[in-house]
Structure 1
Amino acid sequence: MEVHDLKLELQRHFSDGLVTIVGSGLSCAEGLPGMTELASHLCAVVDDGLAPADADCWAMIAPLISTKGLEGALLEIAPTPALESKIVQKTAELIAARERGIVHQVFARTRTLRFTRLLGQLLKPDAGVQVVTTNYDRLVEIAAEEAGLGVDTMFVGHFAGEMNEHESRMSFCRDVKVQRTRAQLRYRSRVNVFKPHGSLDWYHREGKPVRYSGDLDLPRLIITPGLNKFRNGYESPFDRHREKANAAIDRASRFLIIGYGFNDDHLETHLTPRIRSGVPTLLLTYGLSPNALKLAEECSNVIAIQRAVVGGREGSSVWAGGAETQIPDLVLWDLDRFISEVLEP
């Protein structure tokens, strides 16, 4: 495929019915820790102060991380409840500390997030831009507000905001137009953000999930990889966000997938079958995971773009129609460069 034709095909992808899936690759591109750095951090700090039974459990898990990775190790041996709480705490501390530095730059107007630029190029349907993210950080929400859009996470309130899907949606209503006996509600343009793995600003208060944007010395509601993910995923608020995410995936006319590795069973029961059914899909990532590569090879409706070095020069490896083409000097796998090369005039 010629570069000109490829860019036209990519531009046509950004039309009605688009659902965006955001994985850890996008956050890593902004400077947040990836799974490898997180695993190293946990190995350095988790065992401090553990009770004997929890320390014994961690002693079995930790050696597996170097060979199986963090998720593989936690899938093989489930942590005790106290150990899982420690893993959640230390994971959140690392991500939140790195996130603060990025937020400071965005607040000072010295940095524009990649996702902010992307949102400026997307259609804004009345029902909102649909975004599903497996990330704990708040960069998607921050990017949306920086793009001048509202953010609907199904929580209402600034201090200990309660989860209330209806009130959250209605808070974006800006006008009512009455025609005869019918009333038509008009909403502010917004991004609906579904986070099936939780968020750094989710806590429990009196047994109910709440949102508080600051740091509290309390356990945050995030689901770490491993066996316990499946149990925790069916508790509030994860269950409702998972249901809404899957509903958006089921309705999608096309997918934009950024930095996601297709390794999450909470989404894969819906996402991969939809892609295999023929839904047009554009995948941007630094490197295709084995599951993502399999989809690119087997599904002609998938365009997948990853980093490549061609003739000693940085470029892109583009899978389209099940075939790979390497293009030197054209960096499309990074969202910033993709926007500049394809979406902006």
Structure 2
Amino acid sequence: MSGIDYQKQAQDYYHKAPLIILGSGASAAHGMSGMGALAKHLIAHTDTAGLSAAEMEAWEKFCQVLNDGVDLESALHQVAVTEELTSRIIKTTWSLISSEDIQIFHESLQNQAMFPLSRLLEHMFESSLKIINIVTTNYDRLAEYACDQGRVHHYTGFTHGFFRQLAAPTEITSSRRVNIWKVHGSLDWFKSPLEDIVALSNIQGIPANYKPEIVTPGTKKYQTTHLEPYRSIINNADLAITSASSYLCIGYGFNDEHIQPKLMVKCLRQKSPITIITYALSEAAKKLILDGKTQNYLAIERGATDDQSIVYSSMDKTPLTVEKNIWSLDGYLSLIM
């Protein structure tokens, strides 16, 4: 690929105002736990008091499957867990991710340059863009914090304030806005005692009689996402994906049935350009993008060290090794700014 100018390719794709897709790798860059660490935390900390014998049996089987090295999503598909057990798994997941999320928020108060995503959004808004769409599978609020640091208004499907209620995109207007479509829910979403979904901005724990609204991997994921607010959020994410003319995937593994189908149709049928930056390309990403029929792609993963990157481009079938970090969001920004 020596003849290929990957920097020019990155800039061309970027100038088409990409929709941003954030995967777990985007949060891992800030020290958030991935699926592996979450699995260990679940085994160690899930409250099993008062479970029935059948539930205990399912729980032990679930732990065994995880200990055998099966990933969390597959484990939750393999072992049928009851609603009670699912709700305990959700609570334990919430407590781990929430504590890490709040820790990162506190760090960001001391460090104005903490989120490269802030710089990316500010740079994108230097154009005539009025709205940027982010689609994410993450529960954490790092994208929201990045917006705040970049002095950009964001909308996640709710009104503003401390006790937030569902609101249509037309209800909230500002001259520039980032829409963050959280297809698996968010740490600040809860089912209230009235059975509606609300978002609470400034709480550390789960309020009495409220249930966290995050969708854990596994079989319940697809049942839950037919309900509100997920249905509207996924619908809005679909509309955003369909209307975008370019995509920038940050730490996204291409393993989500809520995002994939529309995205792949755009890349395959309409040849929309896609840029992927990540620590390591997932098998799914390689299969869909590199070995698939995607026409216009630029994928960059970490090489042997942090200061090495491997570049895959639709312009050349041979990967190129570059002796600098362009695989992280910080590194990628050096290509386009």
Work out whether the TM-score is over 0.5. yes
1:101-250 equivalent positions in 2, closer than 5 A: 101-109=103-111, 111-123=113-125, 127-166=130-169, 169-172=170-173, 187-205=174-192, 206-213=194-201, 214-215=203-204, 216-217=206-207, 218-250=210-242
One-letter code aligned to 1:279: S
After superposition, the C-alpha distances for 1:18-37 in whole angstroms (9 at most, x for unaligned) are 21110000000011111111
Look up the SS of the partner of 2:301 in the other structure.
strand
2:282 is aligned, of 289, 304, 310, to: 289
Name the structure 2 match of 1:265. 257
How far the C-alpha of 1:61 sits from its partner, in A, is 1.5
Structure 1 contact 316–327 (Cα < 8 Å) conserved = yes
Q: Distance in 2 between matches of 1:94 and 1:334?
A: 25
Structure 2 contact 301–309 (Cα < 8 Å) conserved = yes
Structure 1 contact 132–195 (Cα < 8 Å) conserved = yes
Question: Are 2:99 and 1:97 aligned?
Answer: yes
C-alpha spacing 1:13/1:126, structure 2 compared with 1 (3 Å): closer
C-alpha spacing 1:240/1:5, structure 2 compared with 1 (3 Å): same
Greater alpha carbon shift after TM alignment, 191-200 vs 263-272: 263-272
C-alpha spacing 1:319/1:90, structure 2 compared with 1 (3 Å): same
C-alpha spacing 1:85/1:111, structure 2 compared with 1 (3 Å): farther
In angstroms, what is the RMSD of aligned CA positions? Answer: 1.9
Name the structure 1 match of 2:59. 58
One-letter code aligned to 2:190: Y
Name the structure 2 match of 1:177. none
C-alpha spacing 1:67/1:313, structure 2 compared with 1 (3 Å): closer
Q: Distance in 2 between matches of 1:111 and 1:101?
A: 16
Structure 2 contact 138–182 (Cα < 8 Å) conserved = yes
Judging by fraction of residues, say which structure has more strand. Answer: 1
Question: Are 2:37 and 1:37 aligned?
Answer: yes
1:325 is aligned, of 302, 319, 324, to: 319
Look up the SS of the partner of 1:16 in the other structure.
coil
Structure 1 contact 297–319 (Cα < 8 Å) conserved = no
How far the C-alpha of 1:202 sits from its partner, in A, is 0.4
Q: Distance in 2 between matches of 1:251 and 1:165?
A: 18
One-letter code aligned to 1:131: I
How far the C-alpha of 1:114 sits from its partner, in A, is 2.0
How far the C-alpha of 1:15 sits from its partner, in A, is 2.0
Question: Are 2:304 and 1:315 aligned?
Answer: no
How far the C-alpha of 1:284 sits from its partner, in A, is 0.6
After superposition, the C-alpha distances for 1:36-79 in whole angstroms (9 at most, x for unaligned) are 11111111112542512322211122222233210011112232
How far the C-alpha of 1:138 sits from its partner, in A, is 0.5
Greater RCO (CA < 8 Å, at least 6 residues apart): 2
How far the C-alpha of 1:262 sits from its partner, in A, is 0.9
How far the C-alpha of 1:300 sits from its partner, in A, is 3.2
How far the C-alpha of 1:297 sits from its partner, in A, is 2.8
Look up the SS of the partner of 2:253 in the other structure.
coil
Name the structure 1 match of 2:272. 279
One-letter code aligned to 2:266: R
The count of aligned residue pairs is 325
Structure 1 contact 158–211 (Cα < 8 Å) conserved = no
Name the structure 2 match of 1:88. 90
Q: Distance in 2 between matches of 1:50 and 1:191?
A: 44
Q: Distance in 2 between matches of 1:34 and 1:50?
A: 29
Percent identity for Structure 1 against Structure 2: 30
How far the C-alpha of 1:271 sits from its partner, in A, is 1.6
Q: Give the TM-score of the pair, scaled to structure 1.
A: 0.89
How far the C-alpha of 1:126 sits from its partner, in A, is 5.1
Instruction: Give ranges in structure 2 of 5+ residues lacking alignment.
Output: none
C-alpha spacing 1:326/1:47, structure 2 compared with 1 (3 Å): farther
Q: Distance in 2 between matches of 1:313 and 1:143?
A: 23
Q: Give the TM-score of the pair, scaled to structure 2.
A: 0.91
Name the structure 1 match of 2:301. 306
